[in-house]
Structure 1
Amino acid sequence: MVRLHPNEISFPDPELLESESGLMAIGGDLSPQRLLFAYQLGLFPWFNEGDEILWWCPDPRFVLFPNDLKISKSMKKILRDHVFTFTENQCFRKVMEECKNAFRKGQDGTWISKELIDSFEILHQHGFAKSVEVWQNDELVGGFYGVLIGKIFCGESMFSKVSNASKAGFLDFVQRNAENFKLIDCQIHSEHLESLGATMIPKLEYLKILKENQ
């Protein structure tokens, strides 16, 4: 693990640095420039609000290849019946704020600070971050956001206010972008995303794909 200098935007090479936990660096800041550089290298921030910033590149990496997407019969019906409607980039900051406030079982606090939201909003304004909104009866009931690095979409966080909202938005998003994205970076394992087709791949394989598709 490397301690970052607050005034120098640099990171250790995740290809060379071994870490059983996946923790690559600590410190630095959450400036838009540093965030973008981190994602381009294959790192992402994840920490408790109020603590020092932690930068991760886990091995193995949890990803979804669009062609491996699994849609259950019940979800196919939800999509077919247009239970929800979907938009992109209509209220980016609101989606991040909802993700910040979403309750997550077993998780105390959130890494989505106001500083992080401010920086991501700048990345969004420059086309490096996007949101997906899920609507029902003109109400925002779900969504997610992430970072765009070439043909890699790095999913960050999602929220749902009604059952299956964010799942439907994610499935629709992956289906519509199957030709645009090489993979969806899901970062760390979750049973929810595994049920949708996500799988573990070696860190070095992920970094190779990332380099080739920026």
Structure 2
Amino acid sequence: MAHDLYQRPTLTADLLLRAYAAGIFPMSESRDDPDLFWVDPQRRGIIPLNGFHISHSLARRIRAAPFDIRVDTDFRGTVAGCADREETWINAEIFELYQQLHAAGYAHSMEVWDGPMLVGGVYGVTLGAAFFGESMFSRRTDASKIALAYLVSRLRYGGFQLFDTQFVTDHLIRLGAVEISRAEYHRRLERALDWEADFLAQPQPVTPQEILHLRTQTS
């Protein structure tokens, strides 16, 4: 007698939000792998919102204002840019789920434009006063760093308390990212979920001087 094959429950945008609230997030092994797995790292990466590092060279780039910085004008393109690499954990299902979260107002993109071209950016998910950074990309020198600087300014302005980067890399550590334990992360997440924040509160455009104010406060 034939047996039905087990099918995992369909991952919905609502389930994804509940997973974030529980401190876990989905990944896939590759863009072509239809399977997903949940991740709750023992060591979690965060960027303290009062500890973002702007180096002298990055400050010069921001001051020169070579790019146009936009919010949520091409969320789909930003996620596509993040997935446009040899190895990515963003498969088709994850890609579409974030489009649904964006349409519902829970996912946002900070974008770096060079004329008509999207050349860098970062996107993530908001819940309460927590921002869950998902991925970033750069097609111009320092584009992702500039996107992060503008993102930190926006999170601070909007009243956010937690900027989750999931993991740390050498790139993020140079910008101020640190690792904390899983237990400490969950404590901070619980506090952040009890507060309200507004990702869209900061008026546009934001001047380079406003971004460099972060440096004077944290360097």
Tell me the TM-score range normalised by the shorter chain. Answer: 0.7 to 0.9
What residue is the counterpart of 1:127 in the other structure? 105
Preserved CA contact (<8 Å) 2:28 2:91: no
Matched, 1:199 2:171: no
Matched, 1:43 2:24: yes
Matched, 1:163 2:163: no
Measured in 2, the distance between the counterparts of 1:97 and 1:148 equals 19
3-state SS, counterpart of residue 156 of structure 2: coil
**1:116-167 CA distances to partner (integer Å, 9 max, x unpaired)?**
1111111111111111110112321101111111111111111111111111
Displacement after TM superposition at 1:5 (Å): 7.9
Read off the aligned partner of 1:116 and give its amino acid letter: I
3-state SS, counterpart of residue 50 of structure 2: helix
3-state SS, counterpart of residue 144 of structure 1: strand
What residue is the counterpart of 1:87 in the other structure? 70
Preserved CA contact (<8 Å) 1:102 1:159: no
**1:54-99 CA distances to partner (integer Å, 9 max, x unpaired)?**
1111112110111011000111111111112211111111111111
What residue is the counterpart of 1:145 in the other structure? 123
3-state SS, counterpart of residue 181 of structure 1: coil
Preserved CA contact (<8 Å) 2:109 2:121: yes
What residue is the counterpart of 1:98 in the other structure? 81
Identity %: 35
Measured in 1, the distance between the counterparts of 2:7 and 2:148 equals 36
What residue is the counterpart of 2:150 in the other structure? 172
Give the greater-gyration-radius structure (CA). Answer: 2
1:73/1:205 CA distance change after superposition, 3 Å: same
Read off the aligned partner of 1:43 and give its amino acid letter: I
Measured in 1, the distance between the counterparts of 2:118 and 2:77 equals 9
TM-score (norm 2): 0.79
Query: Bigger CA drift: 29-38 or 72-81?
Result: 29-38
3-state SS, counterpart of residue 136 of structure 2: strand
What residue is the counterpart of 1:208 in the other structure? 187
TM-score (norm 1): 0.81
Read off the aligned partner of 1:35 and give its amino acid letter: L
Measured in 1, the distance between the counterparts of 2:186 and 2:145 equals 27
3-state SS, counterpart of residue 67 of structure 1: coil
**1:176-213 CA distances to partner (integer Å, 9 max, x unpaired)?**
32242212101112010000001011111111111111
Measured in 2, the distance between the counterparts of 1:40 and 1:131 equals 20
Gaps of 5+ in 1: 8-28, 104-108
Preserved CA contact (<8 Å) 2:34 2:91: no
3-state SS, counterpart of residue 175 of structure 2: coil
What residue is the counterpart of 1:72 in the other structure? 55
RMSD value over aligned CA atoms? 1.7
Measured in 1, the distance between the counterparts of 2:19 and 2:135 equals 17
User: Following TM superposition, where does structure 1 have runs of at least 4 consecutive aligned residues deviating by more than 4 angstroms?
Assistant: none
Name the structure where helix makes up a greater proportion of residues.
2
Read off the aligned partner of 1:168 and give its amino acid letter: I
What residue is the counterpart of 2:42 in the other structure? 59
Measured in 2, the distance between the counterparts of 1:40 and 1:128 equals 12
